[in-house]
Amino acid sequence: MKKLGFIGGGNMAEALMRGLVEGGIFKPAELVASDVDPRRRQTIKRRLKIETTADNRAVLRESRAILLAVKPQNIDEVLRELATVFAPGPPGAAQPARPIALKDRLFISIAAGITLGRFTAALGPQARVVRVMPNAPAMVGQGMAALVRAPGASKADLSFALRLFRAVGDAVALDDEQLLDAVTALSGSGPAYVYLFVKALADSGVAEGLPRDLAVRMALKTLRGAEENMRRSTMDAAELIRVVASPGGTTEAALRKFAESGFSDIVGQALHAAAQRSRELGRN
């Protein structure tokens, strides 16, 4: 038996596999992954020395825990396929060659917008499911993930899932699944907002005469330095702004323009739009 199987071997799944192996949490021999793309299977096997297969049900049979990393539009098809390993089927139907008890498997999903209810409806009300909202920086070991468990999952199941995602950054447990829509809007989509801000900074620097490579370099370093300072400081954001913004100075002039343009309102509206879209995807 493998300790963990992956159904779906995309970039996020590979990042998690890498973090688990390089962090010494699992050995390659303790993991298995499936993917429909033979090139992805070859890449994972070559880079990480992890066993791969095209058979999702084989991953289910061979693993104590299964991480579902498939696209949301494919999740129902995958769940129907996996359910055949558990479900007895109608009278007279062929039974699974190697039946598995539902309680013997833990499912961890990173499929965006797919609710716990969708999983328990497909697999059974007692299914042990943990839903996770990770983000792209997990691919460089700086991810932020939020997790929530279904009623059938235990505290030990949640602890196991937290351990996985802390291998590629930070992770927190939530009691209310509905909060995952806000998490999606803030940290799930958040990297794109940061990229947009850095691009705007760099473009503006170029407009003021800086070479583009220097403008990008300065924007990135400024962002990283500000983040580190804010993380170490005991002051909140408003206090840190006051420290930098001397009265009558350049920073104050820039901040005044941000305020006149409704910067904080724009950010709030953007996050609300993302959260609303997450809710819509969950309903659909």
pLDDT higher than threshold 90 for residue 1: no
Interatomic CA distance for residues 126 and 76, integer angstroms: 18
**Separation CA 215–CA 63 (nearest Å):** 48
Q: Give the whole-angstrom CA distance, residue 158 versus residue 116.
A: 14
Q: What is the pLDDT of residues 21-78, one digit of tens each?
A: 998 999 999 999 999 999 999 999 999 999 999 999 999 999 999 999 998 889 999 9
Transcribe the chain into DSSP letters: -BSEEEE--SHHHHHHHHHHHHTTSS-GGGEEEE-S-HHHHHHHHHHH--EEES-HHHHHHHBSEEEE---GGGHHHHHHHHHHHH---STTSPPPSS---GGG-EEEE--TT--HHHHHHHH-TT-EEEEEE--GGGGGT-EEEEEEE-TTS-HHHHHHHHHHHGGGEEEEE-S-TTHHHHHIIIIISHHHHHHHHHHHHHHHHHHTT--HHHHHHHHHHHHHHHHHHHHH-SS-HHHHHHHH--TTSHHHHHHHHHHHTTHHHHHHHHHHHHHHHHHHHHH-
Rounded Cα gap, residues 127 and 121, in angstroms:
9
Under the banding of pLDDT at 50, 70 and 90, the label for residue 2 is confident
CB 164 within 8 A of CB 20: yes
Q: What is the mean pLDDT of the chain?
A: 92
Sheet containing 106-109, strands listed edge to edge, beginning at the edge strand earlier in sequence: 51-53, 31-34, 4-7, 65-68, 106-109, 128-133, 143-149, 169-173
Query: What are the tokens at 259?
Result: 């305020």
pLDDT digits (tens, 9 = 90+) for 194-215: 999 999 999 999 999 999 999 9
Band (281; pLDDT cuts 50, 70, 90): confident
Tell the CATH superfamily of the 4-180 domain.
NAD(P)-binding Rossmann-like Domain (3.40.50.720)
pLDDT, mean of residues 159-165: 96
Axis-axis angle for helices 11-22, 38-48 (nearest 10): 20
What pLDDT is stored for residue 87 in this prediction? 57
Instruction: Report the candidate in 22, 123, 135 with the shortest Cα–Cα distance to residue 75.
Output: 123
Domains 4-180 and 190-283 share a fold: no
pLDDT at residue 280, as a whole number = 86
pLDDT band at 279 (very low <50, low <70, confident <90, very high): confident
Question: Residue 91's pLDDT is what?
Answer: 52
Kindly report, residue by residue over 96-147, the tens digit of the pLDDT: 556 688 899 999 999 888 899 999 999 999 999 999 999 999 988 899 999 9
pLDDT confidence of residue 209: 98
Domain ranges of the chain: 4-180, 190-283
- The pLDDT, as a whole number, for residue 95 is 54
CATH of domain 190-283: 1.10.3730.10
Among the residue ranges 81-90, 168-177, 230-239, 263-272, the one predicted with the least confidence is 81-90
Structure tokens at 278: 């997450």
Residue 261: per-residue pLDDT: 96
d(CA 217, CA 243): 24
* pLDDT of res. 94: 55
CA–CA separation, 249 and 1 (whole Å): 64
Q: How many CB atoms lie within 10 A of CB 122?
A: 19
The pLDDT of residue 88 is 60
